[in-house]
Chain A
Amino acid sequence: MGQNQFVISIVLIVIFTIAFVNFGTQFGIEQGSVIKISDDPNMSRLATSVETDMGTFTTTTNENEDSFAKSSIEDTSQSGTLVTGSIFKSTPVSPLTSMKRIFGAVYSNIFGGDSDFDIILTIITSLVIVISIALAWKTWKGGNPE
């Protein structure tokens, strides 16, 4: 399993957990269940803390994306590698702004702008950023994140 597959696995596991626990909690609230999942302290703590962790993941991804855009490779005159890698640095930034706008339209028009879906779309956008940086790095420097 490569780096990208590993990151995708972890993020999908977390998205599934958030969605499933929130589904159970909302079911209990809307149906007026006698026994609710939110009565269990571990479950309610899990949903909120995992969402907080994913907020940190988004922030860290944005910071890493900034540092990637400012990075450069030392010229050894033998590697034949681009020093600035500006072509790769432009790739993750501009199209991802469009991705955010696309997800924004999906969020407003399909999910009705409900705040419960906000974290899911934010995580997916961050995941796309991570994969883009990893693949750009692979092409630029010749590493193998996959």
Chain B
Amino acid sequence: MGYAIPSGNTTGIDNMIVDVATAVPIFVPSLLLFIYFTIFLTGFRKQRIESSTGGDMPLWGTIAGIVTSIVALILSTREGLITLPILVIPIVITIISAIWLFASKDRY
């Protein structure tokens, strides 16, 4: 027994996401923002609870930036999902986080 395919989306499951992104242009930026802050706040909060020195904000900012950038790169392979400025912004944010990370005084 096969699964019921949603009508109008028989050419591929990605078309459904593209339709959503077309109807609601803020969908993909919101998704990337959600991924960034989920990783950043989860990691930062967990480390802050477990470590006596507190959380490492630049480290988690960089990790979240790298993951968000890779998700954005994957989204860039399909037309209609992401625009060039939205693709570049996570990369720039990651570089800024890395500057903060490597320039942290207590890291060396």
Contacts and interface: CB of A to CB of B under 8 A. Distances in A.
Are A and B associated in one complex? Answer: yes
Nearest to B90: A24
A54 interface: no
Contact of B91 (A9, A36, A37): A37
A27 B98 CA distance: 20
A33 interface: yes
The 7 A-B pairs of least Cβ separation, nearest first, read: A35-B76, A34-B79, A5-B108, A12-B102, A33-B76, A16-B98, A9-B102
A1 B106 CA distance: 9
Contacts, number: 58
Q: What size tier do the contact residues of chain A reach?
A: 20 to 34
Contact of A27 (B73, B78, B79, B94): B73
A126 to B, nearest CB: 17
Given A17-B98, A20-B91, A43-B88, A33 B77 contact: yes
Given A21-B91, A33-B76, 15 more contacts: A8-B108, A9-B103, A16-B98, A16-B102, A17-B95, A20-B66, A24-B91, A27-B73, A31-B77, A34-B79, A35-B76, A35-B84, A37-B87, A37-B88, A37-B91
Contact of B77 (A5, A8, A32, A40): A32
Contacts of B79: 34
A46 to B, nearest CB: 9
B95 A20 contact: yes
A13 B76 contact: no
